[in-house]
Amino acid sequence: MRLCKEDNHFSSTLQEEKIYIADSLSPEGDDIMNPHKKFLIIIGILIVCELSLIFTGPSYGKIAFVSDRRGNFEIFAADANGWSVKRLTSSAEDNFNPAWSPDGKKIAFTVENDEQSDIYIMDADGSNVQRLTDDKGDDWDPAWSPDGKKIAFTSDRNGTYDVYCMNADGTNIQRITTDPDFDGFPAWSPDGGKIAFTSWRDRIPSELYIMNADGSDVQRLTNNYVEEGNPAWSPDGEKIAISRGMEESYDIYIIDVDGSSEVNVTNAPGLNSSPVWSLDGEKIVFASYRGWGHDIYMINDDGSNVQRLHFDLLNIYADFQPSWYCSGTLPDPSLIFLRKCLHIILIAAIIFSAMYFVVVSLKRGKQSDTESTQ
């Protein structure tokens, strides 16, 4: 063995077996032992960017909704910014009508089978499921009172559909309406003093009514010959959003609580239903079927800037019946879409870089084996 100096770098040579051991730096000072180390750095940077995209940014509350993305209809929840879609229910039965409690800690919902429908509640993460009603009739469409102490719902337990109310633990069930025709879709006013609902009591299809929370002082607000449902009070208590239409065409309307004026907000072909107000009363989230699948949309309260919320980016599942627990205003859906696209690009870049790194590593390994056998 001897040491020699070549181009200002020392190397040792074992002449008998012709094995050469050299330092890892080129004459220019570059690292030649691991030429694809840069790809490791790139992969690390991409992973950090992806994690930052996932775990940063406001959530703007949660939106619970119904989806068939696991086969039957289940309750899911997602951040209102479009992230963290999570399945909350898992059963052989279908689950509908999610409704957040005012404090965001509970979700009431309907479980439906071939024999009956009943009201259940669960924690916001899907745990601690409790059954509140157990009647041979159908109990569905729960609505929390603003103080979270009561739940109004629709039931035909006495032969006709009426509005009922119970304590949040399922006790003290009381019948609020007693008309022989359909009464349903209850919605509490922000102060808890009134309930909006739809009814066939004057004619079919249904019209919009309001009453005191104890069932007294019933007032009719609309006078149309179309079906109305899913009323939702604005946060200031001055307006009510409803779905209105016939057969294959429903729109979202906003109506003054005195019935004096109304505006068609969506004004588009398709089935638009289940309106939910933002906390500031400036936006409405709703479900829509527009010929290519059921999805959840957002629109300004004046009907402008309608955009799809991309919980299902590929639009292959049916997502509907949204319920929004607000902790702020919803961001622009176009920004949500851009974040989703960036998420996909980062994942693709990470996978591509990792595959390239593996291929290069295997290729260098084969070259090393070939050189060692020569």
* CATH code of the domain containing 156: 2.120.10.30
Q: Provide the pLDDT for residue 224.
A: 86
If pLDDT is split at 50, 70 and 90, which confidence band does 57 have? low
Which of 300, 331, 274, 296 shows the shortest CA–CA distance to 76? 296
Q: Is residue 71 domain-shared with residue 133, that is, in the same domain? A: yes
- The gap from C-alpha 359 to its chain's centroid, in whole angstroms, comes to 39
Q: Provide the pLDDT for residue 32.
A: 46
How far from 109 is each of 119, 125, 126, 366, CA to CA, in Å? Answer: 6, 14, 11, 60
Q: Return the residue matching tokens 């009943």.
A: 118
Which of 118, 103, 127 shows the shortest CA–CA distance to 156? 118
Q: Is residue 189 domain-shared with residue 242, that is, in the same domain? A: yes
Q: Return the structure tokens found at 346.
A: 């980062």
Q: Is residue 169 domain-shared with residue 291, that is, in the same domain? A: yes
pTM of the model: 0.74
Q: Is residue 216 domain-shared with residue 251, that is, in the same domain? A: yes
Q: Decide: helix, strand or coil at residue 67.
A: strand
Q: Is residue 129 domain-shared with residue 164, that is, in the same domain? A: yes
CB burial class (10 A; 0-12, 13-18, 19+) of residue 365? exposed
* pLDDT, mean of residues 251-260: 94
How far from 227 is each of 97, 203, 204, 243, 263, CA to CA, in Å? Answer: 19, 10, 8, 8, 16
* pLDDT, mean of residues 177-197: 97
> How many domains would you assign to the chain?
3
Q: Is residue 205 domain-shared with residue 222, that is, in the same domain? A: yes
Q: d(Cα 215, Cα 137) in Å, to the nearest integer?
A: 21
If pLDDT is split at 50, 70 and 90, which confidence band does 204 have? confident
Q: Is residue 237 domain-shared with residue 122, that is, in the same domain? A: yes
Which tens digit of pLDDT belongs to each residue from 256-295?
998 889 999 999 888 999 999 998 899 999 999 987 778 9
Most confident of 16-20, 42-46, 231-235: 231-235
Which residues span the domain enclosing 26?
A: 1-33
Q: Is residue 207 domain-shared with residue 296, that is, in the same domain? A: yes
Q: d(Cα 186, Cα 152) in Å, to the nearest integer?
A: 6
- H/E stretch holding 308 reads strand 307-308
What percent of the chain clears pLDDT 90, i.e. is strictly above it?
53
CB burial class (10 A; 0-12, 13-18, 19+) of residue 141? buried
Q: Is residue 324 domain-shared with residue 352, that is, in the same domain? A: no
**CB of 78 within 8 A of CB of 339?**
no
- H/E stretch holding 370 reads helix 333-373
Q: Is residue 322 domain-shared with residue 253, that is, in the same domain? A: yes
More confidently predicted of 6 and 246 = 246
Q: Show Cβ contacts of residue 301 under 8 Å, excluding neighbours closer than 6 positions.
A: 234, 254, 265, 281, 282, 283, 284
Q: Provide the pLDDT for residue 365.
A: 60
Q: Is residue 363 domain-shared with residue 321, that is, in the same domain? A: no
Q: Is residue 76 domain-shared with residue 19, that is, in the same domain? A: no
Q: Provide the pLDDT for residue 63.
A: 93
Q: Decide: helix, strand or coil at residue 68.
A: strand
